[in-house]
């Protein structure tokens, strides 16, 4: 049994498109249904005392999707983030957005800045939305910021870690889980996944609810983490 609590859980929210296809609905309906599931799993995680919840919402590779789908997702970010501020406040939820926001549409950047600012005092649970996030991109950006500070420094693991976004606020991920059956990381949290526990579940993301979070937590508690040592 894992003696540690699941402090930082990360979810690769996959399967929105398949959920919609099964119902003969447009992919956009799957994203809307995913949004409803997302709210449920935030509340369930908070209830189970998960302190940090990272959610993979848009990868650096998702720009390859049709313009109409990318625009739909960007509009969802720009409209839903601010419209949910009341909910975040009532539940004491802090929102952070991880990834390269500089290339997002202006309306999405404004929404992100607003929601981060208006929830910065809260700590019941910190939700890290990963938007235009890529593990490769994150490592490259970290190294570039080290070199900007000191072009002749020797790169070390500690330096790379300490120059990553929110490194001072968000602890290393304990478990990365993925919905919808695919067994890959798709460029998510590559640096941090070195010793994360992994979990893959067939349930499509829009069907995730409190029960799924309870299953994930139980799975985590059954793992023995050794970090290269002996148990
Ligand atoms: C995940 O669901 C949501 C995003 C990547 C934005 P998908 O849209 O990838 O759903 P599938 O994989 O096509 O079913
Ligand atoms: C991973 O899902 C990215 C997010 C959940 C945001 P994808 O559906 O984009 O991943 P691949 O393409 O199947 O690897
Ligand atoms: Mg997918």
The 10 Å Cβ neighbour count of residue 160 is: 17
Q: How far is the CA of 229 from the centre of ligand 2 (A)?
A: 33
Rg (the chain; Cα; Å):
18
**Is 1's pLDDT higher than 60?**
no
- In the chain, where are the structural domains located? 8-221
Q: How far is the CA of 29 from the centre of ligand 1 (A)?
A: 11
Dihedral over alpha carbons 87, 35, 197, 51 (to 10 degrees): 0
Q: How far is the CA of 198 from the centre of ligand 2 (A)?
A: 16
Which residues' Cβ are closer than 6 Å to ligand 1? 13-18, 58, 62, 73, 180
Mean pLDDT for all residues in the chain: 97
**Is 2's pLDDT higher than 80?**
no
Ligand nearest to the CA of 74: 1
| Ligand 2 atom, smallest distance to 62 CA | 9
Q: Is 92 left (phi over 0), alpha (psi -120 to 50) or beta?
A: left
Pure H helices in 26-129:
27-47, 67-83, 85-90, 106-118
Q: How far is the CA of 204 from the centre of ligand 2 (A)?
A: 13
Which residues' Cβ are closer than 6 Å to ligand 2? 12-14, 56-59, 62, 182, 184, 186
| Ligand 1 atom, smallest distance to 31 CA | 3
Residues forming the active site: 14, 62
* Three-class secondary structure of residue 199 per DSSP: strand
pLDDT in the model for residue 231: 76
Model confidence over 72-131: pLDDT tens digits? Answer: 999 999 999 999 999 999 999 999 999 999 999 999 999 999 999 999 999 999 999 999
CATH of 8-221, one of 3.90.1010.10, 3.40.640.10, 3.40.1180.10, 3.30.530.20: 3.40.1180.10
Model confidence over 63-73: pLDDT tens digits? Answer: 999 999 999 99
Please give the structure tokens belonging to residue 23: 């119902």
Region 191-200: mean pLDDT is 98
CB contact set of 217 (below 8 Å; sequence gap of 6+):
6, 48, 50
**Is 51's pLDDT higher than 70?**
yes
């Amino acid at each position: 049994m894992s003696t540690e609590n699941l402090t930082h859980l990360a979810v690769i929210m996959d399967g929105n498109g398949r959920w919609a296809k099964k119902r003969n609905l447009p992919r956009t309906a799957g994203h809307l249904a995913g949004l409803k599931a997302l709210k449920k799993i935030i509340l369930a995680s908070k209830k189970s005392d998960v302190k940090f919840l990272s959610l993979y919402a848009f990868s650096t590779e998702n720009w390859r999707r049709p313009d109409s789908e990318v625009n739909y997702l960007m509009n969802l970010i720009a409209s839903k983030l601010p419209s949910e501020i009341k909910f975040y406040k009532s539940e004491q939820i802090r929102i952070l957005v991880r990834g390269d926001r500089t290339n997002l549409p202006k309306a999405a950047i404004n929404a992100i800045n607003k929601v981060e600012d208006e929830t910065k005092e809260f700590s019941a649970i910190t939700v890290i939305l990963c938007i235009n996030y890529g593990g490769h991109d994150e490592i490259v950006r970290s190294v570039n910021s080290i070199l900007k500070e000191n072009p002749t420094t020797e790169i070390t693991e500690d330096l790379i870690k300490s120059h990553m976004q929110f490194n001072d606020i968000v602890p290393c991920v304990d478990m990365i889980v993925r919905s919808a059956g695919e067994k890959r990381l798709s460029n998510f949290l590559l640096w941090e996944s070195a010793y994360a526990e992994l979990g893959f579940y067939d349930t499509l993301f829009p069907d995730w609810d409190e029960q799924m979070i309870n299953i994930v937590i139980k799975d985590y508690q059954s793992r023995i983490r050794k970090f290269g040592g002996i148990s």
